[in-house]
Structure 1
Amino acid sequence: MALIVKRVQIDVRCPWCLTVAEDSTHVLFDCSFGRSVWASLGVNEVSSGGYSGSAFEIFRQIATVCDRDKLALVVTVCWNLWNRRNRWVWDKVNVSAFGVTTTTLNMLQEWKRSRVERTSMEVNVDAAVFTETDCVGIGSVISDENGGFLRARTQKIRALFQPREAEAIALKKALSWVKEVGYQRCVFETDAKTVVDAYKSGEGNTYFHLIISGCIDIGKHYDEVLVEFVHRSANGVVHALARASHSVLDVQECGFVLLQTLFLMYYLWI
C-alpha cells in the first residue's frame, strides 16, 4: 500500500506491523506493538476494543472512567508510543516494547516526584522488633520541605512479626497517621527496600503483600504520595525513635522536647 507524491513512493502502512494504513488511532491503540506495551503495563483494556472513534474521542472516553493516576499513565504511554514511531520513521532508531515501557514508568515517577517535592512533607518511617517481649516498635517523623521538624509519633504493637512485615506495618501506620493529620503531599522514606519495591510493584499474595496492599489503598487518599528507599544512615533519627518505643505505652505523639527525651532514654537503654 503506497502513495505516490511527486514520483516518490511513500508507504502509508504502519511502520511497525506493515498491515494497515497508519493513523493516530492505529499507532496508539490498535497496532500489535502498542498492544504489547499496554499489556505489559497492566492496562490492556485500553487497546482491547472497548473504545472506538478517533484518538481524541478515545482519550475523552478514557478520561470519563479512569482515575487520575491511570489517566496520567495512559497519556504518558501514548506520548512514548508516538515518540517511538517518529524516531523510527525519521531516524531509523528502533526502540523495543520494553524500552517504551521502561521510559514510560521512569517519566511517570519523575513527574510524580516533581509534583510532590514542590510542596511536600517528608515522613521517615522505621520499625524495631523486640523478640524478648513479643512487641514491635514503630517510629514516624514528619519534616517540612526544608527539613524542619514538625511532629513525631511512636507506637508499640503487642505482637511479633518478622522484620519485613514489621516494616510494612510501620509504613501503613504512618500513612494512616499522616493522612489523619491532614497532609496531602508526602514522600515516605524507609530503609526497608523490600517494602519500597513491593509498594511500587503492587504484586504478591503473601501476608506481607496483604499489608502492602493496605498501604497502597491508604495512599490513594492522598493528593500525591511517594514511597522511597533511604539508607539506614539517613534514617537514624526515626530508627532511634522506633527503638525508644519500647519505653512507652501504646501510642505517643511527640513534640520536639519529648522527642529529645525519648532519644536520651533510648541511648541510656542501649
Structure 2
Amino acid sequence: MEVRLFYNSVRPGVGMKPHREGLRPLLPQHARHCPVLEAGSALGFLVYPPLTEKESFHIEFQGEGRYQFIYSLKKPTGDFEPIFSVTIVLPVGTIGMIKEDVSILSRKTAMNRNDALRLMRAFIVPEDLATPPGAIAMRGATNFRTPQGWDTVYTPIFNMIDRPVAPMLVVRVETDWYAHETEFRYVLQPGEGISTAHNMPIGQVFFVPREEITMRDCTNEELEEIRRSKEEFVREKEAQKIMTPHGLSYSPHYLRQSRSQRS
C-alpha cells in the first residue's frame, strides 16, 4: 500500500519524516525479548514536529484559559536560548477574541510580533486550545493522503509508560479525500507542559481500511485446531528457551514463527 505525504503548510519540508520504530528507550531491557510488545510499538509510524535540529518549543497550560508558548534556539554551547514567548488568554466562556501577548526574549533576533505568531502557528493550533479544557493541539511536520477506502488514525506514542503521561484524544480521519493537517491533541492539567525537539516524536499514526467487520463463533473443528496449535506452540516454545548472560530466560519461537509466515 502506498501513502502519499505532504507537509506542514507553514513550514513545508522542515522536520523529520515519519519513522517506524519498535524500541522505546525507557522500557526495561527485557522488553527487547518480547516481539509482540515491539510489534505493538512499531504499529504505524512516529510523527515529528516541524523543527530543525537547532530549534525547540515548550507549551504549558497555566489554568483558567491561559497558555504559554516558548520558542528557543540552540546556542553554540548546546544550551537552548528562549527567543520569544506567547501568552495566550482565551475569552470567558471560550467565545470571543483570543488574546495573544508576545514577548521578544532575545536581543539577537530580528523577529517581530507577526513573525512570532506566524511561527507559533506552525507548531500549534491556537483555535483548538482548551477543547476540551487543558487541551493543546500540536502540528506535525507531515500530513498523509491514503489510498481510496483507507483512514488515518492519530494516537499518542504507544508503550511510552514513563510518568507523567498526558492523555491524548485519538481521532480517525478519512484521509483518502479530506486534506487533514496532522495534529495531536493532548490534554494537560494546570501547571503541566510539553517540550519538543526535532528528534522527539509528538504522536503516532497508523492506517486502517474503512470496511465493515463481522464476527461469528468458531466451529467445533476450528476450536479443536486452535487447541492443537496452542499445545504445539507451548511445546516448541519451551524447547527453544534461551538463557541470557543476566539470567533471564526467553524463547525466540514466536519471532521465528512470525518471520516464517512472511517468507
Q: What is the TM-score with the length of structure 1 in the denominator?
A: 0.27
Which has a greater percent of helix?
1
Q: Which of the two has higher C-alpha Rg?
A: 1
Which has a greater percent of strand?
2
Q: Report 1 or 2 for greater relative contact order, CA contacts < 8 Å, sequence distance ≥ 6.
A: 2
